[in-house]
A = this chain, B = another copy of it.
Amino acid sequence: MTNIEQVTVAGGGVLGSQIAYQCAFKGKNVTVYDIGDDAVAAARERVKALRTAYKRDIKATDEQFDAGLGRMSFTTDLSEAVKNANLVIEAIPEKPSIKHDFYQSLAKLAPENTIFASNSSTYVPSTFASDTGRPDKFLNLHFANQIWLMNTAEIMGTDQTDPDIYNQIVSFAREIGMVPIQLHKEQPGYVLNTLLMPLMGAAGMLWAHDVADPQTIDKTWMIATGAPKGPFGFYDMVGLRTAYNILSQRQGDNPQAKPLLDKLNAMIEQGKLGEETGQGFYQYPDPDYRDPGFLKA
């Protein structure tokens, strides 16, 4: 079995560019594919902008960061992008029609042995397996935002995924500095969102039904579990828009959830989207819950 050294990341958005750079940083040769010159230029800028975070958060030197950059190339030509790829990681928009078309094109252009992995948050791999022309070499490999810090890689195959391929991706995840989170079955939301969403939903219901306020709820959680943030800190981390979308899928037919969805929606309309906009349930970069006095009052 060929070691995975040539990696193509399809889609240079926020997460795609992080995945691509992390692979390159860890020594892989990486090609980023995106659909047009503007998208490629934006991806290139996103990658370059990671320097600050890699230096600050994981103490990378400029030399190390530059060496990673030196292992990357960018293209709008899918055929060129995948012709030598051992692995294509797909991080394109979460629209089924776009993904079906992409995998059908990719199936024709990629060498027969190339493994395909989807970073999709929303779709289990069986959704697209038949488009790939190689269901035995297809699975999901899902990363978290701020990949250099939140270094989980959730790995989820279908019934058709070859166990050797699955294990090869587990090793690859370790090679690029990730902790492989192995799922033995398809599970919408993987492990992390399957855990986070019930907690965030329960916390949100306490707030929306006026049982307790967000700060009180977060304090309770932080004291009891020793965690550095509570459920409303998680809302801000995940982003209110994403949280709203997932909770409305899961809870949309529960009338008890309506006050929560309404209150989240009101915050979204005010631009309070969480850490990304500097304001959610807390203000960033210095949210109250990081104040040493927060747990004492």
A interface residues (Cβ-Cβ under 8 A, vs B): 144, 150-152, 154, 179, 181-185, 187, 191-192, 194-199, 201-203, 206, 209-212, 216-217, 219-221, 223-229, 231, 234, 295-297
Nearest 3 interchain pairs by C-beta:
A198-B198, A227-B227, A199-B199
Given A199-B198, A201-B198, residue A150 in contact with residue B223 (CB < 8 A): yes
CB-contact partner of A181 in B144, B194, B199, B212, under 8 A: B212
Chain B residues contacting A183 (CB-CB under 8 Å) are: 211-212
CB-contact partner of A185 in B192, B196, B209, under 8 A: B209
Contact between A182 and B212, CB atoms less than 8 A apart:
yes
CB-contact partner of A229 in B154, B194, B209, B226, under 8 A: B226
Inter-chain CA distance A279–B117, complex, in Å, is 39
Contact between B223 and A229, CB atoms less than 8 A apart:
no
Inter-chain CA distance A231–B224, complex, in Å, is 12
Inter-chain CA distance A220–B210, complex, in Å, is 31
Contact between B296 and A231, CB atoms less than 8 A apart:
no
Inter-chain CA distance A231–B184, complex, in Å, is 19
Copies in the complex: 2
Among A152, A194, A225, A228, max chain B CB count under 10 A is at A225
Among A150, A216, A220, max chain B CB count under 10 A is at A220
Inter-chain CA distance A220–B181, complex, in Å, is 7
Contact between B210 and A199, CB atoms less than 8 A apart:
no
Inter-chain CA distance A27–B296, complex, in Å, is 19
CB-contact partner of A223 in B151, B210, B226, under 8 A: B151
Inter-chain CA distance A217–B183, complex, in Å, is 10
Chain B residues contacting A182 (CB-CB under 8 Å) are: 212, 216
Given A144-B224, A196-B224, A224-B192, residue A297 in contact with residue B179 (CB < 8 A): yes
Chain B residues contacting A295 (CB-CB under 8 Å) are: 179
